[in-house]
Structure 1
Amino acid sequence: MPTATRWSRCRRRGRRKLIAATLPDIVSTPVNKAEGLNDPSLLEPADWEEFRAEAHRALDVALNFVRDRPQEAAWEETPPGLKVTDKELPVHGQPLGEVVNAVQRDVLPYTLGNTHPRFWGWVNGSGTPSGVISQAFVGAINANMGGRDHSPMYIERQLLAWMRQLFSYPEDASGLICTGTSYATLLALAVARQHALGESVREQGNGGAALVAYCSEQAHVSVSKAMEILGLGSRALRSVPVRPDFTLDHAALDAMIRSDVALGMKPFAVISCVGAVNTGAIDELEIIGQICRENGLWHHVDGAFGALIVLSPELRHRLAGIEHADSIAFDFHKWMHVTYAAACVLIRDGELHRRSFATSHAYLQGESRGVAAGAPWPCDYGIDLSRGFAALGIWMLLNEMGTKRLGEAIYRNCRQAAWLGQQVDSMKQLQRLAPVSLNIVCFRFAPAGLSRQQLNRINRHIVVTLHCDGIAVPSFTELAGETAIRVCIANHRTRLDDLQALLDAVIEIGARLMTAGLEGEEFDVSTH
């Protein structure tokens, strides 16, 4: 008899025999106490002292890697033999020492390179030596930060209280430690949607509401992804033009909002950039916030790396108005160098935040005492029921370094970017393509007589050559159709000598390409 039929009869007649026939019951199988049930765990070390020695050696390998990384190439391609992914799944294990040896041999030499002082690609944090220690504690504790009453919860709550203090948010504001600003922005826009449509959105969905949001054309792609995931669609995200300094044109924003209202659309949110991904531009938060308040819109600040200039007394004035934003998203694993992945979202209206995600399932009900105490839990403020203890690494770093040292490191990066921009301006072979707003310098090798297409090709090839030769890791981007060498200095290990080496290499590689033969529009740098 098919299982579905047996279940149907079971429901009609309540026959326990049919349940047993459908679902196996391991209790019915005889169990002998001698079958290893009282033996030590299969997953514990057989010899703790031997394991301790191997663990100490592994820690030395990790710390030596961090210490010695600046002496190695900035990047080295993974050999073809290590790129295979068809190895058999291990059935029988091997000693920990052999596994550590494999990591040391096959993994450590070929990492991304973001712990190297000449890594300036994208926005990747550089980590800290003490981050290795915090990760060891995270592994030892193995906390599930979804909820319940245990000491890690109070570490996260303290951390969120510190973040409210940093950004001058009210005490009843809420927040969540999460994996990255992409996820934080999704959570914030979900709350913004509930703010616009009411609590019925959780049961009925968007209901055909013509919601639209606005962001700079320089905004991160995660904003449009969030709109897609929320069922609003990327076409509901209006791309606002930028001014010559790559900040959002607030006059254009105001006009676009009025136009959409006239067309019967329902504007609900504006996303500002603090540290736009291409150039580091910071939108005018006070003016944009005022536009949002006048139109009843949610103001979200994407401060993935730039929001942390709040730690620098010399820079934090550039965040004027952020304290009035409805939500802020930022990463710890970028400019604070916390081990990946660690970010934060702050929501000014804490109760709205909770109502946007809280559930009432029986197995998630809290108690006033015992392990199930401590509500509301983090799972009431986001999607994840199982969460790692990322807060510990952030908490430890703040206690170790203090905001003063962290702010000084951020400010030094900005001064290094200013120096690099000045050096570019002084060299006739180079051309700066954007203002140095914060810590990003966009420039190109630009000898006279080359077309735009040729310049774009040669600069892309320069970047790839810098990577493959292990000299440095910048990235490239496009600004108004021009390929730029993009140097994002979010690296506490960088020194001026590293930046000078970059400039020297760009000029040398560019000259070498020119000598190799540049023949009109047919030149293709990929062949050189």
Structure 2
Amino acid sequence: MEGSVSPHLFSGATLDGYTSGVWHASALLADRVKAVRQPYSGATVTELQEQVDAVDLDRPLGDTGAALHEVARLYLDNAVWFHEPTYVAHLNCPVAIPALTAEVLISAVNSSVDTWDQSATGTLIERRLIDWTAGRIGFGPGADGVFTSGGTQSNLQGLLLAREEILAGLAEERATAIPRLRVFATTQSHFSVGKSAGILGMSADAVVGVPTDATGAMDTGALAAAIAAVRAAGGIPMAVVATAGTTDLGRIDPVDAIAGICADQGLWLHVDAAYGCGLLVSTRRRHLLDGIERADSVTVDFHKSFFQPVSSSAIVVRRGETLRRIAVHADYLNPKTATVPNQVDKSLQTTRRFDALKLWMTLRTMGSDQIGDMFDTVIDRAAESYQQIEADPDFETLAVPTLSTVLFRFRPDGLGVEECDELMPRLRQRLFYGGQAIVAGTVIGGHYWLKFTLLNPNTTMGNVRDVLGLIRGIGREMLGEREETPAVMV
């Protein structure tokens, strides 16, 4: 007896339901986006928690349309909209429409690009994009790589490869060598560097903090001294992580000089270009990445400065053979005797989405120059924003931007440093729940700073001035509230 076709599973027999569902979802999204005028609704955690908790997941609505309307109320009505020009908080970008069209295909076909027999052309498209990215970095024909879930995974894989390469050349046992391995990075490097060292079983002090110069970039003299000190203490220098675009300051470490030190010392160089990878397609600022072609591995996050939907990232290595260090073969999946390309041989993941298609669609529709121009635009806007803030007596800036982040704070005359440090996080929170604008915050040198992260080419200086006006207004209001609060009698 033949079974009936499930109306909720994608197939040739259910295309009417699929097209209706996709159309309905698109229409709801379009309605919300047309109505959006600010990046957030202002709803509190408590309010949203109550709404989510009220849903009984064991009593289905039975209808896709009804479920979509419920999700629109819970999610879309309270989403954080990165396309809104007054969202200037984190490394989130508005996304390219060609990439969104690719998402429709990726989700429906549901290819897994771990093996050839689950993806076919998907594997070839991903490999072609890795080759293209390697060429942009400046690697030769022996380069290779794989798409990942994001910069954290790419950084982990880069350090895993570094660990395996150095262990392969040591005579001593892994168990005694691993606790002595050391990675060199600045305090401005991404937190995933330290997290990766822990995952890799290295010691708690495995990441050696290298001092920065006056600009916040790695001090190469201090790096050389740190490596020498580790060797003198009996440690084993393993790798250097150079950052091409630090999260807070947007600084680019002197990659070429660091590469020279690594070559002399026999160390693996990993460049975390998750943020600054957009410079690879810049027609005006590509020189800022000079030396990156000498790295052993590079992290790129297309879902940051290539304007791709999450997730779309990759790790690219200069010598493809180094990927063999992590290859594991299973007879049922990717046997050693396979004659077809299997990407799982290079990846930390097994099942993996065909995220590469989003970048492919974007490049084939817009071209790399337009992507580069958009990244240059946000860098230009950051420079203009810095000049605007620097000239305003109510604000204090920290440093001239390199990429598209600007650190500053509201500090009018008479507001002390400690008072400002206490005020800024509360000001930022009030701004967020006002919903009209969202900025980030961080601590540098023990002091709290607000942060613009500009990744939307549609954000104008008018929008920047609007956000500054909101910050000024909230700051003055909060200072006024403090002055009005009566002193407590003791």
**TM-score for both structures, normalised by structure 2:** 0.92
Deviations 1:281-307 (A, max 9, x none): 111011111111110011110111112
User: Partner residue of 1:12?
Assistant: none
User: Partner residue of 1:299?
Assistant: 269
Structure 1 residues 162, 517: CA separation in 2 closer, same or farther (over 3 Å shift)?
A: same
Structure 1 residues 44, 307: CA separation in 2 closer, same or farther (over 3 Å shift)?
A: closer
User: Partner residue of 2:19?
Assistant: 52
Q: Structure 1 counterpart of 2:430, which letter?
A: T
Q: Structure 2 counterpart of 1:356, which letter?
A: R
CA distance in 2, matches of 1:193, 1:79: 42
SS of 1:189's equivalent?
helix
SS of 1:333's equivalent?
helix
* Bigger CA radius of gyration: 1
Does the 8 Å CA contact 1:269/1:299 hold for their aligned counterparts?
yes
Does residue 224 of structure 2 align to residue 254 of structure 1? Answer: yes
User: Partner residue of 1:363?
Assistant: 332
Following superposition, the deviation at residue 500 of structure 1 comes to 0.9
User: Partner residue of 1:13?
Assistant: none
Structure 1 residues 49, 210: CA separation in 2 closer, same or farther (over 3 Å shift)?
A: closer
User: Partner residue of 1:286?
Assistant: 256
CA distance in 2, matches of 1:299, 1:100: 47
Q: How does 1:129-208 map to 2 (within 5 A)?
A: 129-149=97-117, 150-198=120-168, 207-208=177-178
SS of 1:175's equivalent?
strand
Does the 8 Å CA contact 1:75/1:467 hold for their aligned counterparts?
no
Deviations 1:16-38 (A, max 9, x none): xxxxxxxxxxxxxxxxx3xxx33
Does residue 423 of structure 2 align to residue 453 of structure 1? Answer: no
Does residue 300 of structure 2 align to residue 322 of structure 1? Answer: no
Does the 8 Å CA contact 1:74/1:116 hold for their aligned counterparts?
no
Structure 1 residues 446, 82: CA separation in 2 closer, same or farther (over 3 Å shift)?
A: closer
Following superposition, the deviation at residue 65 of structure 1 comes to 3.9
Structure 1 residues 204, 253: CA separation in 2 closer, same or farther (over 3 Å shift)?
A: closer
Does residue 2 of structure 2 align to residue 40 of structure 1? Answer: no
SS of 2:452's equivalent?
strand
CA distance in 2, matches of 1:166, 1:321: 12
SS of 1:195's equivalent?
helix
Following superposition, the deviation at residue 226 of structure 1 comes to 0.4
CA distance in 2, matches of 1:388, 1:48: 22
SS of 1:478's equivalent?
strand
Following superposition, the deviation at residue 519 of structure 1 comes to 8.6
Q: How does 1:100-499 map to 2 (within 5 A)?
A: 100-149=68-117, 150-198=120-168, 207-353=177-323, 355-366=324-335, 373-375=339-341, 377-499=342-464
CA distance in 2, matches of 1:517, 1:367: 70
Does residue 38 of structure 2 align to residue 72 of structure 1? Answer: yes
Q: How many correspondences in the alignment?
A: 480
Structure 1 residues 432, 302: CA separation in 2 closer, same or farther (over 3 Å shift)?
A: same
CA distance in 2, matches of 1:206, 1:488: 43
Following superposition, the deviation at residue 50 of structure 1 comes to 5.3
CA distance in 2, matches of 1:419, 1:77: 32
CA distance in 1, matches of 2:18, 2:265: 63
**TM-score for both structures, normalised by structure 1:** 0.86
CA distance in 2, matches of 1:513, 1:293: 54
Following superposition, the deviation at residue 493 of structure 1 comes to 2.7
CA distance in 1, matches of 2:269, 2:312: 23
Structure 1 residues 460, 518: CA separation in 2 closer, same or farther (over 3 Å shift)?
A: farther
CA distance in 1, matches of 2:204, 2:106: 37
Does the 8 Å CA contact 1:326/1:347 hold for their aligned counterparts?
yes
SS of 1:115's equivalent?
coil
Does residue 17 of structure 2 align to residue 83 of structure 1? Answer: no
SS of 2:300's equivalent?
strand
Does the 8 Å CA contact 2:178/2:202 hold for their aligned counterparts?
no
Structure 1 residues 434, 75: CA separation in 2 closer, same or farther (over 3 Å shift)?
A: farther
Q: Structure 1 counterpart of 2:200, which letter?
A: L
Q: Structure 2 counterpart of 1:358, which letter?
A: A
CA distance in 2, matches of 1:479, 1:434: 11
Following superposition, the deviation at residue 63 of structure 1 comes to 3.8
Q: Structure 2 counterpart of 1:99, which letter?
A: A
SS of 2:98's equivalent?
helix
Gap runs ≥5 in structure 1: 1-32, 524-528
Q: After the TM superposition, which parts of structure 1 deviate over 6 Å for at least 4 consecutive aligned residues?
A: none
Does the 8 Å CA contact 2:182/2:206 hold for their aligned counterparts?
yes
Following superposition, the deviation at residue 518 of structure 1 comes to 4.0
Structure 1 residues 259, 79: CA separation in 2 closer, same or farther (over 3 Å shift)?
A: closer
Structure 1 residues 234, 474: CA separation in 2 closer, same or farther (over 3 Å shift)?
A: farther
Q: Structure 1 counterpart of 2:340, which letter?
A: G
CA distance in 1, matches of 2:272, 2:14: 50
SS of 2:185's equivalent?
strand
Q: How does 1:21-32 map to 2 (within 5 A)?
A: none
Structure 1 residues 323, 50: CA separation in 2 closer, same or farther (over 3 Å shift)?
A: closer
Segment of structure 1 superposing worse, 112-121 or 294-303: 112-121
Does the 8 Å CA contact 1:76/1:109 hold for their aligned counterparts?
no
Q: Structure 2 counterpart of 1:76, which letter?
A: G
CA distance in 2, matches of 1:390, 1:261: 42
Gap runs ≥5 in structure 2: none
CA distance in 1, matches of 2:59, 2:79: 27
Following superposition, the deviation at residue 125 of structure 1 comes to 2.0
Q: Structure 2 counterpart of 1:408, which letter?
A: D
State, as a whole percentage, how many aligned pairs show the same letter. Answer: 26
Deviations 1:269-326 (A, max 9, x none): 0001111111101110111111111100111101111122111111110100001111
CA distance in 2, matches of 1:415, 1:164: 26
Structure 1 residues 259, 294: CA separation in 2 closer, same or farther (over 3 Å shift)?
A: same
